[in-house]
Amino acid sequence: MGRVIVDVTLKSEILDPQGQAVLRALQSQGLKQVADVRQGKTFEITFEGAINKEVLDQVEALASEVLSNPVIENFVIRSYEKES
| 24 or 78: CB nearest another protein | 24
- Tell me the C-alpha to C-alpha distance, in Å, between residue 46 and each of 24, 26, 42, 72: 35, 33, 13, 26
Helix, strand or coil, per DSSP, at residue 56:
helix
| 1 or 14: CB nearest another protein | 14
Binding flag, residue 31, another protein (CB under 8 A): no
Task: Work out how close the CB of 28 gets to another protein at its nearest, in angstroms, rounded to a whole number.
Answer: 10
Binding flag, residue 15, another protein (CB under 8 A): yes
What's the one-letter identity of residue 27? Q
Element (H, E) at 19: helix 17-28
CB-facing half-sphere around the CA of 77: CA atoms within 13 A = 17
Binding flag, residue 82, another protein (CB under 8 A): no
| 2 or 64: CB nearest another protein | 64
Binding flag, residue 20, another protein (CB under 8 A): yes
